[in-house]
Structure 1
Amino acid sequence: MSKLNVLFSFLRFLTLFSVFLLLINPKFDHVTLSAEKPNLVLAIDNSSSIRHLNQSENALDIVDKLSQNNELSNKFTVSKYIFGEQLKLSDTILFSESQTNISNAFNQLSQVYKDTNVATILISDGNQTYGNDYEFITSKYKNPIYPVILGDTITHTDLKIKQLNVNKYAYLKNRFPVETIITYNGNNNINSRFVVTSGKTTVFSEAVSFSKDKNSKTITFTLPANRVGVNSLKATILPAENEKNIINNSKNFAVEVIDQKTKIAIVSDFPHPDLGALKKSIESNEQRSVTFMNSNNTTSQVNDFQLIIINQPDNKFNNLFDELNKENKNRLIIIGTKTDLSFINRINQSFTHEITNQTEDYQAELNLNYSPFIIDDLDFESFPPLKSNFGTVNFSAPFETILNKKLGNVSTNQSLLVTNEANSRREAILFGENIWQWRAQSFINTKSFNAFDNFIGKLVQYLASNKRRSRLNVEYESFYNGNTNVIIKAQFFDKNYVFDTRETLNIVVKDKASNLEKVFPFVLKNNNYQIDLSNLPPSEYSFIVRATNENISKSGVFQILEYDAEQQFLNANVTKLSQLATNSSGADYFVDEVDNLINDLVNDNRYATIQKSSKNTIPLIDWKYLLGIIVLSLASEWFLRKYNGLI
């Protein structure tokens, strides 16, 4: 056999062998090794209390020292976070935030570093202005925490108004209660005086005394409500001799005095959890009171109430509806599984409900174009479904939908909660029951009933009033505490009362003390315009909201009370930070012990680099070189045969 034939045989064998390999398609394991360093988190307190305690430079020096240390960088993957109200991944540390929530910072870190090996250095004074007690956060955050304690640890003599409790509203000619808790930090016996002033007038005064053992006192008293509007007051505990921090000796507070109360009747002939939930939500605003009644004893008292809520009516409610129509009274009707739909269709002039004798569970979907008043999205789609009658609702009068029915993930375009206005009367209809579950779910979502109660409160406020609808609606508080966000919301509608996103709204804010005016633009957010005025200093302000393209405006007044929660502290909270370190199997350090912290972390065997292997199974068909071999061998054989005249 010639050498040429041997070469042809070899090329043909190589081709067939490669093809057979592709048909069999064997698989190979490819193992790669990687080294994973443990994480080192620097959680830096960015609140203004650090600056107030003169610890800004110490904190920045500590951050630089930890970030630039080569031993730490070689052993750990270092990440820097700052926190005040919220945790943020940032290198900009200004010590400017007005609130501190250490507990929330660790809650967020627990989500980021879940099931990972991480050491956490907390650089803070340990003074938290709100939130859950961070001392016990180790039940959720399972990693060691190393607090670096900022601030003076020496105990100084200090008198402080720790807490002041007062209702937001009071009624004209009544007296409203005030409760004040005063604390003393010191070793000597002292005498002082607690004073409450309104302007330059003293409205309450009481002598107080403290000692090392008797270091707190609760003072409860009442004050008269003699003037309608916002009444601003100031509570002060006179400072002791040589007291270092006198900022926390005073606290401003305010009470809005009103001259009437909105009365609401809930009429039902049977008990239901919805009724209690509505009462709780409505009466969360002290301007409103709720009375429970049944269909037999309401008719003669209709004019005693600004709003009647009717729960699942039947024929027994006939006289009540006649009286409501006669007096043209506002109402909220709840239609559920026990409602007599035949009676509703006969007595009501604005809609008819198809009768199928079947029920369905519907979830809620917010209508972002609802115009009569501002509705915040409470994450309605996370709420449990309401039990509702199955069937089409046909409206014979103009109506506005707040919530639509949603069946699973499908929008039905059927109304769940609507309002309508006709002949100077306002009416709302809720086509479902078990709204009490919404209030419970809202608490689970936000850890507070406030969001749901505000939603019901806005609905009740709209129904209890007969004011003419405005194209520009502005929502604001009469006064804001200095430690809360000053948010003003607005809605603007076109001439057909459809929410208009094209308009530009501006607010002109005037400080009544200095007569200084500032103009701020509103920002469009979801279904309303918003402006955050939290940077304004404490004072009394008047404002005008104007629409740029049309001659429409709304005016009002509000007050920002002076209070800086971050300036209430005199020392670092050493006890809590030390306990936090102990509970998490970490250790606490002071400013001059950072070198010890670095040495302890570098030599801690709990933080070791982990070598991880990753196995990747690769089929031979993915190996492109084999296809190249087949092409090359076939091409070579063809070329040689052609060259030698065999083709």
Structure 2
Amino acid sequence: MTTQTIFYIILAGIIALSLALFQYSLKKKNRTSKSVLFAFLRFISIFSLLLLLINPKFEKISYYTEKPNLVVAVDNSSSVTHLNQKENVLQLVASIKNNKELSEKFNLDFFTFGNYIETSDSLTFLDKQTNIDKAFSDFSQIYKNTTSPILLVTDGNQTYGSDYVFSAEKVKQPIFPVILGDTITYTDLKLQQLNVNKYAFLKNKFPVEAIVTYNGNNIVKSRFVVTSGNVTVYSENVSFSATNNSKILNFTLPANRVGVQAYKAQILPIESEKNTINNYKNFAVEVIDQKTNVAIISDFMHPDLGAFKKSIESNEQREVSIITPNKYLSQKDNFQLVILYQPNNRFKPIFESLKKSNANKFLILGTKTDYAFVNKMTSDFKLDITNQTEDYQASLNTNYNTFIVDDLDFESFPPLKSSFGNATFSIPVETILNKKVGSVETQNPLLVTFETSSRREAVLFGENIWKWRAQSYLNTKSFNNFDNFIGKLVQYLASNTRRSRLNVDYESFYQGNTNVIVKAQFFNKNYEFDVKETLKITVKNKTTLETNTFPLILKGNNYQVDLSNLPAGGYDFTVKATNENISKSGSFQILEYNIEQQFLNANVTKLQQVATYTNGSSYFIANTNTLINDLLKDERFATIQKSSKNVVPLIDFKYLLVLLILSLAIEWFLRKYNGLI
């Protein structure tokens, strides 16, 4: 409270007292006890009112204690079971949970991690992947400004993600790894890595690269074999020693049949080898007999051209050529799809050729587009012609139903730049993305598709889509999501297949360590997405002939089913709409491979590095009592008393208002009772 406020309060008291005495004492010749009471009540009323007008502020200090957090992060992947550590982990979690001293000193937060990180102490040890880097990244955000040591219960074997030793330093918390497994070195041959393309072309040979490693001290000989069914398609003798402990094998295999061809690569085990699961890997190649050629035509260089080329060619069934308008006409018969990037007058022969052949095209407009020329060459839409540019962000139209579009978090993408103005369409169109200016979502299209006269077209009203591909990588640490989005758009434009009321999206084969997701869309007779339909998928194993039926769950603008629990093998499937006699069939293959069973030992070295770099300590699972005692004795994790200071204005005190009302009411009642009113 300031000196000025104290002065005003004293002045208010003097004024209130003066007025009360003037009204009830100075004017009265015969002062009675009642006059004194009335003067006191009047003083209270006036002083309270003046205090409310001054409204002084008071500091309110409250004290509380804050315990540190103990983050217990437990590896929930199947490698824990493979290393025979399941029971040890369950006992450790139970002992931490039931330890009263730990509960008194820490707030216990339990997490599990594998494919993802979850807030739970329920353990299944069924996750097919381990991403410790992701767990550390999440903890660095969740516990940014707190004291929160991390108890990391894991074998340290990460199957994907960045090196977690470096990401651990960003957590800014002491990390205490509890190491699962032993440090005994076993003699072991391992097929470390297998590199092969997803697609091959009929009557060609496709390359395969295999990396084989050896862990041991003796000289050993073995044989590397690749089989297809019961037929050996490649074999090679290999030998290893303590110094010559790895080999890179490069060879080619023939692609003689169209379709998915499954293979098994194996390094034959040696005597007394403990783990033979990591000796083999299954892989598959889809053999196709044609390639989709896409032409990107541009009159100038731009980063968008490279982004489109990279995204489209991420599917090896497609090949992209970036050419100038002059060169296209001499090669036009080589392409199944044309992308016109910011056309101008030099594109006139191309528009005339495409119109004559009624060919599909993808039109991209930006700041260097000649809009008067575009309006002249197309009758499907007209563009406002202005000399201004605008930045447009994207908003996904969840009602788009031509093909399945996943939400890539488009609203987080940088804006595209284009000419200011709108497009007016003379035909029905399907909008994938709407324009968004700042926080205002418009109904003006940013990306549309349409079909007319048996021709398919798409129009993108903006440039700098290369920034979207970069942002997608920053969001997900992968280009796959954005490339799949562009791939689906190109697949739609490169085909003239008649539109179906039931569309199914699936892969021809799935790796054993990935999720097996099948997506579908169903439309009513007006080709509007039907959210009321019930879709079911019937899956039949080609070998065992076992049949299972699963419902598809509505998620956003499509139906999905997760078939990851199916065992490895080949499957035929049929997706059927329950209320209508519409179905679609296909087949896929799940390759056998469990990456979590490739390890023999815990990664002790990396876990000890994590402990060292974060000022923690590492422990083996057998030393849990020592771990708990060390946590309890560690003075860095003491309970802290904190204070909170709030500045509260007097007007927030309801009791003063009650006192004012009460004093006025009592004064009025007494004056009325004594006949003074």
TM-based fold match above 0.5: yes
| SS in structure 1 at match of 2:51 | helix
> For each residue in 1:281-301, what CA deviation from the matched residue of structure 2 results, as whole angstroms up to 9, or x when unmatched?
111111111122222232243
| SS in structure 2 at match of 1:569 | coil
Separation in 2, partners of 1:35, 1:398: 64
Kept in 1: contact 2:414–2:468 (CA 8 A)? yes
1:308 to partner: Cα distance: 1.4
Residue 14, structure 1, aligned to residue 44, structure 2: yes
> For each residue in 1:399-455, what CA deviation from the matched residue of structure 2 results, as whole angstroms up to 9, or x when unmatched?
222222222222332222222222222222222222222222222222211111111
Separation in 2, partners of 1:474, 1:3: 96
Q: Any gaps of 5 or more consecutive residues in structure 2? A: 1-30
Provide the residue aligned with 1:312 in structure 2: 342
Correspondences of 1:262-273 after superposition (within 5 Å) = 262-273=292-303
- The AA in structure 2 aligned to 1:463 is L
1:459 to partner: Cα distance: 1.1
Provide the residue aligned with 1:114 in structure 2: 144
Match of 1:52 among 53, 61, 82: 82
Provide the residue aligned with 2:14 in structure 1: none
Separation in 2, partners of 1:43, 1:509: 37
- The AA in structure 2 aligned to 1:74 is E
1:618 to partner: Cα distance: 2.5
Match of 1:570 among 583, 600, 607: 600
Correspondences of 1:601-612 after superposition (within 5 Å) = 601-612=631-642
Provide the residue aligned with 1:501 in structure 2: 531
> For each residue in 1:566-592, what CA deviation from the matched residue of structure 2 results, as whole angstroms up to 9, or x when unmatched?
111111111111111111111101122
Structure 2 CA distance for partners of 1:399 and 1:595, relative to 1, 3 Å: same
Match of 1:141 among 155, 171, 185: 171
Residue 299, structure 1, aligned to residue 329, structure 2: yes
Kept in 2: contact 1:149–1:589 (CA 8 A)? yes
Q: Any gaps of 5 or more consecutive residues in structure 1? A: none
Kept in 2: contact 1:124–1:148 (CA 8 A)? yes
1:65 to partner: Cα distance: 1.7
Provide the residue aligned with 2:510 in structure 1: 480
Kept in 2: contact 1:361–1:385 (CA 8 A)? yes
| SS in structure 2 at match of 1:28 | strand
Kept in 1: contact 2:258–2:288 (CA 8 A)? yes
Residue 280, structure 1, aligned to residue 310, structure 2: yes
Separation in 2, partners of 1:383, 1:19: 57
- The AA in structure 2 aligned to 1:266 is I
- The AA in structure 2 aligned to 1:171 is F
Kept in 2: contact 1:509–1:541 (CA 8 A)? yes
Kept in 1: contact 2:169–2:613 (CA 8 A)? no
Provide the residue aligned with 2:459 in structure 1: 429
> For each residue in 1:91-130, what CA deviation from the matched residue of structure 2 results, as whole angstroms up to 9, or x when unmatched?
2112121111111111111111002111111111111111
> For each residue in 1:234-286, what CA deviation from the matched residue of structure 2 results, as whole angstroms up to 9, or x when unmatched?
01111111111111111110000001111111222222222121111111111
Match of 2:384 among 339, 351, 354: 354
Provide the residue aligned with 2:181 in structure 1: 151
Correspondences of 1:185-204 after superposition (within 5 Å) = 185-204=215-234
1:368 to partner: Cα distance: 1.8
Structure 2 CA distance for partners of 1:3 and 1:334, relative to 1, 3 Å: closer
| SS in structure 1 at match of 2:635 | coil
- The AA in structure 1 aligned to 2:64 is S
Provide the residue aligned with 1:325 in structure 2: 355
Separation in 2, partners of 1:494, 1:313: 37
Provide the residue aligned with 2:285 in structure 1: 255
List 4+ stretches of structure 1 deviating above 6 A: none
Match of 2:619 among 582, 585, 589: 589
Tell me the number of residue pairs that the alignment of Structure 1 and Structure 2 aligns: 647
Separation in 2, partners of 1:589, 1:564: 27
Provide the residue aligned with 1:557 in structure 2: 587
Provide the residue aligned with 1:182 in structure 2: 212
Structure 2 CA distance for partners of 1:352 and 1:26, relative to 1, 3 Å: closer
1:320 to partner: Cα distance: 2.1
1:621 to partner: Cα distance: 2.7
RMSD after superposition: 1.7
Provide the residue aligned with 2:366 in structure 1: 336
Q: TM-score, normalised by structure 2?
A: 0.92
- The AA in structure 2 aligned to 1:283 is E
Match of 1:26 among 29, 48, 56: 56
| SS in structure 2 at match of 1:612 | strand
Separation in 1, partners of 2:360, 2:55: 78
Correspondences of 1:45-84 after superposition (within 5 Å) = 45-84=75-114
Kept in 2: contact 1:302–1:324 (CA 8 A)? no
Structure 2 CA distance for partners of 1:194 and 1:359, relative to 1, 3 Å: same
Provide the residue aligned with 2:654 in structure 1: 624
Q: Which has the larger radius of gyration?
A: 2
Match of 1:528 among 550, 555, 558: 558
1:340 to partner: Cα distance: 2.5
Kept in 1: contact 2:457–2:493 (CA 8 A)? yes
Separation in 2, partners of 1:81, 1:581: 19
Provide the residue aligned with 1:542 in structure 2: 572
Structure 2 CA distance for partners of 1:19 and 1:545, relative to 1, 3 Å: same
Separation in 2, partners of 1:479, 1:337: 42
| SS in structure 2 at match of 1:376 | coil
Separation in 1, partners of 2:223, 2:603: 27
Match of 1:418 among 448, 451, 454: 448
- The AA in structure 1 aligned to 2:96 is L
Separation in 2, partners of 1:188, 1:428: 63
Correspondences of 1:627-642 after superposition (within 5 Å) = 627-642=657-672
| SS in structure 2 at match of 1:96 | coil
Kept in 2: contact 1:476–1:487 (CA 8 A)? yes
Provide the residue aligned with 1:518 in structure 2: 548
1:22 to partner: Cα distance: 2.9
Separation in 2, partners of 1:131, 1:122: 17
Separation in 2, partners of 1:337, 1:642: 85
Q: TM-score, normalised by structure 1?
A: 0.96
